[in-house]
Structure 1
Amino acid sequence: MVSNKAEIEVLEAGPHVTLQDAGRPGLMRFGVPNSGPMDRKALTIANTALGNPAGQSGIEVSPAGLRLRLTRGTLTLAIAGGGFAVSRNGQALRAWQVVTLQQGDELTLRPGPWGSWCCLAVAGQLEADTWLGATATHGLSGLGGGALRAGQSLTVNECRTLPERPIPCPVFCRPRRRLNVILGPQDALFSDGTVARFLSQTFRLTAAFDRMGQRLAGPNIAPEAALGIPSQGLTRGAVQVSGDGIASILMADHQTTGGYPKIATVLLDDTDGLAQLRPGDAISFTAITPAKAVQLARQRARAFQCYLAQLASH
C-alpha cells in the first residue's frame, strides 16, 4: 500500500455531476439546505468499500454521465449506486466495483440498465472547496465542492492502492416504486376522497427533476382549502402539492421553507430508492403510522449496518 498523489482530468461531465459528502445537517434553521448525495447509501457503500469514513467527499454522477482520465499516479476508486455502464479504456467493467486506474487510463460512466445516480469514492483525500464545513455541492448556487466541468483537474492526496473486487449490490439499493409515507402534515387540507386517490392510484415520474425535487404526473390531488398557509419548514421526502393539483417530492437540495400544503412525507429511507427511478417510472404510496415508520426505519438501518460491516471486513 503506497501513499502518493494522483491527478484526474475531467474529459466530459454532464449537468448535476457534482462533488458531494454527507452534507451539512443542522443548518436548515438558518435557511441552508442539507444537500449531500441524491442516493446517500451509494456514497456510504463506495466509501466503506475503500475503508474511508462513510461521509467522505466523492463524486456523484447524474444520468448525464462522466468521463475521466488519470493524468498522474495510481488511483483506486469504488463505484456504487445505479446500474451504470462503466468502462476503463473502452473495456466494460461491473457497475459496482473497486477499480484501480493507472496513469493514462480513462474511466467512463454512462446510464446503464437501471438507476439514475452513481457515486465514485477515492482511496485517498479528494481536494475540494468547502462551504460551511462541507464539500457537498448545493446545485442551484454551486456552493460547496462544485459541479464538475470538462477540462477541470482534480487532485487526490494520500492515495492508497487496493485490490480490485466487486461490490455486492443489495436488494435495498435497487429502485423503489412503492413508497411508504406518513400522511401530513397538511393532509387535513385535502378531502377524504383526494387522500384516498393519492394512496390508491399510480403516479409517474416526469422529466422535470433536479437535485431539489421530482415532479410527478398522475391524478389531480388539489387541496380543498386555500393555499395561503404560513410558510413552514420542509424536509426531504415531503410530497407538496401546488394549486393545480400537481405533486412534487422534495429531494437532497430542497428549500428549507415553503407554503404549499404537504399531503404526506415519504419515509426518508425510501428516498434513496426513489432517486434511482427514471422519468416515466410508476410509483405508488402506502400510508403507515409514525410508530410503524420508526420500526421500519430501525429495521432497515440494522440491515444496512450489517451489510456495511460485511463489506468492510473483506
Structure 2
Amino acid sequence: MIITVTPNPALDVSYRVAHLSPGASHRVRDVHERAGGKGLNVSRVLHGQGIGTLVAAPVGGVHGDAIREDLDAAGIEHLLLPVPGPTRRTIAVVAEEDTSGEATLFNEPGSHLGEADWQRFRDLLATRLPGASVLVCSGSLPPGCGADSYAELVRDARSRSVPAIVDATGPALLAAAEAGADLVKPNAVELRETTGQADPATGARQLRERGAAAVIVSLGPDGLLAVTDEGSWCAAPPFAVSGNPTGAGDAAVAAFAAGIAGRQNWPERLRNAVAWSAAAAAAPVAGALDDGVLREISDHIAIEPV
C-alpha cells in the first residue's frame, strides 16, 4: 500500500466556453468536477496501474464531500479527515475557439489548517503507516501549516521504517531534505527558487548535502535528472510528447513510489518515471496515462550517467 498525502486538496472544476473575453458574460457549455491535488493525482496513476494506494487528506464542507464521493466512484481507498475549513476549488476555463487547448486557471487559497487539526491528521495517518510500503507527500501546504510539516511526516514514516517521498518547494522542501527524506522531487524552476542554484545538478547535490537520500529534478521535455547515493543519471524520452503537462510530474512521483515499493534499481525507476510522465502529458486529464504513448516510449528511453 502506497499512501499519498495531500494537505491542501482541491475540487477541480473545469468550464468549457465558446470564447473567453475579460469583462464579458460567458455561457458555460460544459462543467466537469473532479477530486484534485498532487497527491490525489499520484494515487490515480497508481490505481490505474493496479498498484494499491491510499489517499490521505484533510477535507471540509460540500467540496470535501464531493472529493469523497469522487474517490468512492473511482474505487480509490481514502483516509479523509473532516476539518472545519471548506476545501478549496481550482477553476479551469477552456475556450473552444482556442485551438491550443490551454486553460485559464483560477486557484483558490486553501482554508487555514490549525495546529490541532494538523496533529489530528498526523495521528490518523499514523494508524495506517505500519502497513505502508511508501509514503508520498505532495503539493502545497495550507495556511496554518509550518514549513516543517512535511518534515514531521518524514520523521513519522522513518520511525516506522517506511520510505518517504516529498514533492514540494521552498522551505518545506529544505526541511524535508534535512529530515532525511528518501527522495525529493522538485522541478528545475522550484529547485532554483529553493536553493538559488541555476545549475540543476549543483542544486540537487545541495539538497543531498542537507540530508535527502536522492534528488530527482524534472527537466520538462528533457526528462529527469537523478542524483543519488548510488550515482547520478539523466533520463530522456526519445521524442517530445505534445499535450497537457499538468500531472506529468505527479506521474513520475507515482513511478518512483512504485519502484521503491518494488525494489527496482535506479535505471529501471528512471525508465518508468520518464515513460509514465510522458504518457501523463499525452492524457486528457491529470492522474491518467495514455497507454499508446506508454507502450511506444517505454523501450526507447536514454539513460546516461552524469
Same fold (TM over 0.5): no
Query: Normalization by structure 1: what TM-score?
Result: 0.28
Who wins on radius of gyration, i.e. which is larger? 1
**Higher RCO structure, 1 or 2 (CA under 8 Å, sep 6+):** 1
Query: Which has a greater percent of strand?
Result: 1
